A and B are shown apart, each in its own frame.
Chain A
Amino acid sequence: NAGVTQTPKFQVLKTGQSMTLQCAQDMNHEYMSWYRQDPGMGLRLIHYSVGAGITDQGEVPNGYNVSRSTTEDFPLRLLSAAPSQTSVYFCASSSSGSTGELFFGEGSRLTVL
């Protein structure tokens, strides 16, 4: 029962470094998304994908890249980390982009110094 798996769970970066948060799901969901969660702000959508090869921007896409080469994987890349990107990142997947339940990974806690 893996569901949605995110790695790493914790990461500390220095300003300007780049890194990739990995996300994989084994439910054969077409829809996948990345959110960040900050205190008082709730979950904000960064990018989403409706299938392999198709991605689109969410509410706060700047500073992040995504790609979807397979149905299972949806990595999130931080190009040049900034302190403002310190957050908890959640990957989620769903069988539908509108009415389906979102299944979340356990989250990745990122600190940028």
Chain B
Amino acid sequence: RKEVEQDPGPFNVPEGATVAFNCTYSNSASQSFFWYRQDCRKEPKLLMSVYSSGNEDGRFTAQLNRASQYISLLIRDSKLSDSATYLCAVNPSWGKLQFGAGTQVVVTP
């Protein structure tokens, strides 16, 4: 079993709709959580950190559920430019950030 798992998708989303997806992690000692965005054949870039109380950045909302060991990302009012692969990242121990394989989101006109 992978330590960080994501639904690979693709999630096909009409422009303006809401999409949400989760990422599960196996190490309960993990302390830091992140969502990265990766465009095709490009390097990953940090989208947002995920805090225990949940956090929002514009149209993006991230949640952490420690009891069930998953993090989630919700995108509201989807834009064509939101089409990308979203990678979750978990820090089970200092220096070792583990990534999921990514969830592909395709926003259609």
CB neighbours (8 Å) of B98 from chain A are 45, 59
* B interface residues with partner A (beta carbon < 8 Å): 2, 4, 6, 8, 31-32, 34, 36, 41-46, 49, 87, 89, 91, 94-102
Interface contact tally, CB-CB below 8 A: 58
A106 at the interface (CB under 8 A from B): yes
> Is A42 a contact partner of B4 (Cβ separation < 8 A)?
yes
CB neighbours (8 Å) of B8 from chain A are 40
> Is A104 a contact partner of B101 (Cβ separation < 8 A)?
no
Summarize B's interface: helix, strand, loop or mixed: strand
- Complex formed: what's the CA distance from A56 to B8 in Å? 30
Chain A contributes a number of interface residues (CB within 8 A of B) equal to: 24
CB neighbours (8 Å) of A56 from chain B are 95
> Is B87 a contact partner of A42 (Cβ separation < 8 A)?
yes
> Is B43 a contact partner of A90 (Cβ separation < 8 A)?
yes
> Is A101 a contact partner of B95 (Cβ separation < 8 A)?
no
User: 5 smallest A-B Cβ distances: which pairs?
Assistant: A42-B101, A104-B43, A97-B95, A43-B99, A101-B46
